[in-house]
Amino acid sequence: MSNNAIARNYAVSRVQSKCTTCSLRELCLPVGLDERETEILGELIDHKFRIRRGEHLLHTGLGFKSLYTVRNGFFKSYVLDSDGCQQVTGFYMTGELLGLDAISSEKHTCDTVALEDSEVCEVPFAKLEEISRDIPLLMHHFHKIMSREIVQDHNIMMLLGSRKAEERLAAFLLNLSERFAKRGYSSTNFILRMTREEIGSYLGLKLETVSRSLSRLQEEGVIAINNKHVRLNDIQRLSRKLYSSSDR
């Protein structure tokens, strides 16, 4: 099994590599790879980091070497513009890939901070490109991941550009819901790891507006919200919130 060209080139170790046993295989980079390919990928992920809540994983301006996959936990990325105004560009959960923005300039363009105690796997980018030459599926999947990021950003642009506060919140909650569901958590009952201010920053709203919109959704009975804990009572009705705006 290890007796083939690829295995020789990459000197697959006998110790079980981390990826092969990782429960995230199907969410993360190794999607669709076979055992051997996964093992090769696992070889390259040499470091696993533990990041405590509030600590930074990445800083703007930092030289780019690696991508990071969230092994567990929760992150936010944000950009600080010239006058110190912070804008959250994304929230990242288990299996998602951090640092894609840095490939173009070879410097990170966001700060990334853990919103709860978390672990990440470091993926040295040069090595990733190298082995993806031999594992076309990996290369293709990586392209899909980057493309997905672009699509997601377009969706956010859509929200920011033409949706009212309540619609943005609805979209935000539904997006979280889906992502939790995909990870085997409840799609209707979850904890918001971020503050109202961070939600607002992501959605282009002030924290007071976030608070008010959530309150209104609760009054309407569509959601129940208690501090950080949310329950989606009526996903149907929540979804309908998205379809009711003016043109722009």
Partner DNA sequence: CGCTCGGTTGACCCGTTTCAAGTAACGTGG
Partner DNA sequence: CCACGTTACTTGAAACGGGTCAACCGAGCG
| 205, two tokens | 């709203």
| 52, two tokens | 């405590």
| 136, two tokens | 């076309």
User: Which listed residue (97, 98, 176, 205) binds DNA by CB under 7 A?
Assistant: 205
Is 140 or 228 the residue whose CB approaches DNA more closely?
Answer: 228
Using CB under 7 A as the binding rule, whether residue 212 contacts DNA is answered as: yes
Alpha-carbon distances, residue 211 vs 65, 155, 215, 218, 231 (angstroms): 39, 22, 6, 11, 15
Rounded-to-integer distance, Cα 216 and Cα 62, Å = 41
Q: Helix, strand, or coil here: 13?
A: coil
Tell which positions 3-62 bind a second copy, by CB under 8 A: none
Tell which positions 137-176 bind a second copy, by CB under 8 A: 139-140, 143-151, 153-154, 156-158, 160-162
Using CB under 7 A as the binding rule, whether residue 224 contacts DNA is answered as: no
| 13, two tokens | 């170790």
DSSP state of 222: S
Using CB under 7 A as the binding rule, whether residue 88 contacts DNA is answered as: no
**Matching residue, tokens 């009212």:** 164
Q: How far is the CB of 99 from DNA (least distance, A)?
A: 25
Is 54 or 61 the residue whose CB approaches DNA more closely?
Answer: 54
Q: Helix, strand, or coil here: 89?
A: strand
Q: How far is the CB of 24 from a second copy (least distance, A)?
A: 18
Rounded-to-integer distance, Cα 12 and Cα 33, Å = 15
User: Which listed residue (209, 217, 223, 232) binds DNA by CB under 7 A?
Assistant: 209
Q: How far is the CB of 172 from DNA (least distance, A)?
A: 13
Nearest to 102 by CA among 140, 67, 74: 67
Which residue ranges make up the site for DNA (CB under 7 A)? 164-166, 192, 195-197, 200, 204-212, 214-215, 225, 227-228, 246, 248
Which residue ranges make up the site for a second copy (CB under 8 A)? 79, 81-87, 89, 100-105, 109-110, 129-130, 132-134, 136, 139-140, 143-151, 153-154, 156-158, 160-162, 200-206, 242-248
